[in-house]
Structure 1
Amino acid sequence: MEVLLEFFNNLSDPDWIVAHGGLYLLLFIIFAETGILVGFFLPGDPILFIAGVIIANMSMGAAHPEMTLLYWIALITTAAILGNFVGYWSGRFFGHRLLKMKDTWFFKKEYIHKAQAFYDKRGGGAIIIARFLPIVRTFAPIVAGIVEMDFKKFALYNIIGGIIWVGSLVTLGYMLGENPWVQRNFEYVIMGIVLAATAPVIIKLFTGKKKTPASIASIEEQEEVTQEV
C-alpha cells in the first residue's frame, strides 16, 4: 500500500516522471485509465497537464518547438483513443454475460437498459463529456460497449473527445508550465485541476433532485406524446 501511495505522490513530480519512463510512462497511464477497468483510479487530468510541462522543457532551444508539442499531443491522443476502443470492445465481449446474470443488490439488468436508453439519446455527447470526468471516463466506453452503442457513432465521438481532452490540457501545461508562479505552486495547481474536473460530478451528486414515480410517469407520457406528434 505504501508503495502505491508513493507512486501516486511521485506522479505529481515532473522530474520523477522524466527519470522513470518520461512521456512513455504517461502514455501507458492515459491508455490504462481509459481502457482498463482497474485504471479508474489513475489521475488522467493532472497527468496531461504535467505532460505539457515536460514537453515545454524538452522543447527549449528547439528550432520548431511547436512540432514537438504536436508530435506528443498526437501520440497521447492516440493512446487515449485506443484506450476507449479497448474499453468499448471489452464491454461488447462481456455484455452478453452480464445480461445473463441474475439481478443482485449490486447489479441489475435494469441499469443496462437505462444506460442503453441514455446512449441512444445522448450517446455522442456523453462520450465527449466523460473524457473530463475522473472515473466516469473509465466506465463510459465500457458501458457503451455493453449497451452495444453504434460503433461508428462511438468511434467518431471517441476521436473528437480524445483530441479535445488531450489537446486542451497538454497545451495548458505547455503554456503555463514555465510560469514562475505555477512552478512555485505546482502542487496546488495540480490539486486545482483535480477539483475542477471532479466539481461537476460532486455538485450533481449533492444538488440533483430525485424524481418521484409520479414525475417519472409524467415525463414518460410527455415523451410519448412528443413522439406521436
Structure 2
Amino acid sequence: MHVLSAMPAFLDPATMLQGLGPAALGVVALIVFIESGLLFPFLPGDSLLFTTGLLHQQLQLELPVLIAVVSAAAIAGDQIGYMLGRKFGRRWFKDDARVLKTAHLDKAEEFFKRRGGRAIVLARFVPIVRTFAPLSAGIARYDYKSFTLWNVTGAVIWGTSVTLLGSWLGHYEFVANNIDAIAVIMVLISVVPWGIELLKKRRKVTVGATSGHTGEE
C-alpha cells in the first residue's frame, strides 16, 4: 500500500489503515459508530468503508465479517443518536457553532420531514445528514420501533453496498494501483457539503458587510 496523499491522517483512509492488519476491523467499526451516533460528521465514513472493502484481503479481513461488524456499528451509532435527540433535543446546537450548528440540524429535520422513515435509509448515503438524521428523529419523537426498522435497513444496505463496491473495484488493476487517489476523491466528495456551507456563510458575511458599508454612506 503506497501512501502518497498529503491529507491529514484522520481523513486519509489509506493512511489510517496502513499496517493495521485484522485490527482494522475494530478501527473501522469505531469510526463508523462515532460518525453515526456521537455527532462527529467530519469523519470519513464512506471513503473509509470503501477503502476497507477494497483492501480487505491485504488486511486479512473476511468480507462477510467486515460487512456484519460495520452494519452493527452503524445501527448502534444511530440508536445512540436517536436516544440523544429524544433526551436532549436541540439544546446542544448553536447558530455559530463549528460542528453542532443549528443549520445542520435544520437541514436534517427538513430532510426527515420530506421523506419520513425513508430518510433514515437515504441519509446513510449523504455525508453530514446521516449524522444528524437519527438525532432529528429522536427530537421529533418518531416511533422508536419504526425508527429501528428503518435504521437496520439503512445500515445493512449502506454497509453492504459500499463495502462490496470497494471489494469489486479492487479486482481492477487500475483501481488497485491508485488506492490513494481514489480514497482522496471519495473524501473530497464527502466534504463537498462542508465546502458549500462554508461558501454560503462567507457570502452572507460579505453581503452583510457590503450592506452595512452602503448604509453608512
Q: Same fold (TM over 0.5)?
A: yes
Length-normalised TM-score, structure 2: 0.71
For 2:79, give the aligned amino acid. Answer: F
Deviation for aligned residue 1:14: 6.4
Three-state SS of the structure 2 residue aligned to 1:57 is coil
Tell me the SS of whatever aligns to 1:145: helix
Match of 1:157 in 2: 150
Paired letter, 1:165: W
- Correspondence for 2:72 among 65, 78, 84: 78
**Measured at CA, do residues 119 and 181 of structure 1 come closer, stay the same or move farther in structure 2, by a change above 3 Å?**
closer
- CA distance, structure 1, for counterparts of residue 194 and residue 152 of structure 2: 23
- Please tell me the residue identity of whatever aligns with 2:55: I
Q: 1:148 to 1:138 in 2, by over 3 A?
A: same
2-side partners of 1:14 and 1:48: how far apart? Answer: 12
Distance 2:44 2:33 in 1: 12
Matched AA of 2:53? G
Output the CA distance in 2 between the equivalents of 1:56 and 1:178: 11
Corresponding residue for 1:30?
32
Q: Deviations over 1:78-126 (max 9, x none)?
A: 000100000000101102x74xx9xx86688xx87x93x8645522121
Contact 1:45 1:197 in 2 (8 A): yes
**Structure 2 CA distance, aligned partners of 1:174 and 1:195?**
20
For 1:34 and 1:8, locate their aligned partners in 2 and report how far apart those are by CA, in whole Å.
16
- Answering whether residue 86 of structure 2 is matched by residue 92 of structure 1, we say yes
RMSD (Å) for aligned C-alpha atoms? 3.5
Distance 2:79 2:87 in 1: 12
1:90–1:142: 8 Å Cα contact kept in structure 2?
yes
Alignment coverage as a number of residue pairs:
186
Q: Secondary structure at the match of 2:10?
A: helix
Among 15, 18, 21, the residue aligned to 2:20: 18
Which one has the largest radius of gyration? 1
Quick one: structure 1 residues 78 and 20, their matched pair in 2 at CA, closer, same or farther if it must change by over 3 Å? closer
Amino acid at match of 2:29: L
Matches of 1:11 and 1:17 in 2, distance apart?
12
Distance 1:144 1:42 in 2: 21
Q: Is residue 130 of structure 2 the alignment partner of residue 129 of structure 1?
A: no
2:132 maps to 1:139: yes
2:48: which partner in 1?
A: 47
TM-score when normalising by structure 1:
0.67
Distance, in Å, in 2 between the alignment partners of 1:57 and 1:118 is 38
Q: Which structure: greater helix fraction?
A: 1
| 1:19, distance to aligned residue in structure 2 (A) | 5.7
Cα offset, 1:175, TM superposition: 1.6
Does structure 1 conserve the Cα–Cα contact (< 8 Å) formed by 2:35 and 2:41? yes
Partner of 1:226: none
Gaps of 5+ in 1: 60-64, 207-229
SS in structure 1 at match of 2:126: coil
Cα deviation, residue 192, structure 1: 3.2
Report sequence identity in percent. 37
Deviation at residue 73 of structure 1 after TM alignment:
0.4
- The residue number in structure 2 matching 1:62 is none
Per-residue deviation at 1:54?
A: 3.0
Partner of 1:69: 63
Could you say if the C-alpha distance between residues 185 and 58 of structure 1 is closer, same or farther in structure 2, counting changes exceeding 3 Å? closer
Q: Quote the Cα distance in structure 2 between the aligned partners of 1:149 and 1:14.
A: 36
The amino acid of 1:26's aligned partner reads: V
- Other structure's SS at 1:133 match: coil
Structure-2 separation of matches of 1:17 and 1:9: 16
8 Å Cα contact 2:127/2:193 also seen in 1: no
Q: In structure 2, do the counterparts of structure 1 residues 49 and 119 end up closer, same or farther at CA, with 3 Å as the change threshold?
A: closer
SS in 2 for 1:7: coil
